[in-house]
Amino acid sequence: MTTTPLTVAVLGPGGVGGLIGGLLARDGHRVVCLAGERTAAVLARDGLRVRSGQFGTFTADVEAATELSEPVDAVLVTVKETALAASLDRLPADVLGAALVVPLLNGLDHMAVLRERYPAAGVVAGTIRVETTRTAPGRIEHTSPFAAIELAAPSGPTGPATSTAPATSDELRRPVEEFAEQLRHAGLTVTLREDETAMLWSKLSFLAPLALLTTRHTSDVGTVRTEHRPELLAALDEITAVARAVGAPADAQALLAVIDRAPGAMRSSMQRDAEAGRPTELDATGGAVLRAAAAHGIAVPTLARLVAELSEPAER
């Protein structure tokens, strides 16, 4: 594994991107943050300022631009799903070339979007478990006692070769492993998974019920798992059935055990967005589950009701 510092672009240096970008920059990598003019100006002047119980309080120098203008080794796509389409203009495909592209978004649909947009790049599915917030441009508050990333590094054929892209995922696996090791060296917990579908549904199966319930009841995780436990159990049973139908292993009791161990004061990002009046990722999470359920003929009355109830304010 090479120890040569990387050049990493961060598309969307908010809570997640700002934390990872700050850690990579602190560890000696060149980090280029891609953001709007105001945020880019603040980052270029002041850097990323991170306050974390796990990683400490520090300021990391980064570069900033409104659009990628040179090749990089890797790109972290860390915008909200609601902003993905517009943000991709900051990442021209002809400039990006064959870089590693790692989206850390909620949901499923972004993978097809990115692979179609960047056919020469190595688009690698990723997930992250963390609670972190951008309190102001370049100001990151990391409040969870963990920051755990999973990356899909499958073996075997991925499709026909092109002149600019790997012919098989075996050829992509090495750069993914090397990037994972760089992230670990920066302090993050990183696990490699071979099954992309299982990895994405593992995150969605945990996230969707909690995001829907915490947002619907404007409650933290502790309140949901006590005062709304029957509804939580029903939602877990439904999403487990959907996950199994799409070919992902899932166990409602195992999911419940993870939720029961989660910090009681934890809130979902959807809940925080809703309370702040920002667009939510309702379609990327709840909507994705409902579409998969419909495609496989799975009844999900609890999840469907929650999505419908959370959709109502936006429709008025």
Cβ(46)–Cβ(18) below 8 Å: no
Tokens representing 173?
């696996």
Please report the pLDDT score of residue 62 as a whole number. Answer: 98
Amino acid at 246: V
Burial group, residue 272, by CB count within 10 angstroms (0-12, 13-18, 19+): middle
Integer angstrom CA distances of residue 214 from 19, 173, 185, 232:
24, 37, 34, 10
Report the pLDDT value the prediction gives residue 155, as an integer from 0 to 100: 59
Q: With 0.85 as the threshold, say if the pTM is over it.
A: yes
pLDDT at 172 over 90: no
Q: What was the pLDDT predicted at 3? A: 61
pLDDT for position 161: 31
Model pLDDT, residue 154: 67
**pLDDT tens per residue across span 192-240:** 999 999 999 999 999 999 999 999 999 999 999 999 999 999 999 999 9
Residue with more model confidence, 255 or 315: 255
Note the pLDDT tens digit of each residue in 33-66. Answer: 999 999 999 999 999 999 999 999 999 999 999 9
* pLDDT interval class at 4 (50, 70, 90): confident
Residue 124's pLDDT is: 95
Q: What is the per-residue pLDDT across 133-167, written as a single tens digit (0 to 9) for each? A: 999 999 999 998 899 999 998 655 443 333 333 43
Degrees to nearest 5, angle at CA 34 with 30 and 39: 110
Helices 252-261 and 196-216: angle between axes, nearest 10 degrees: 60
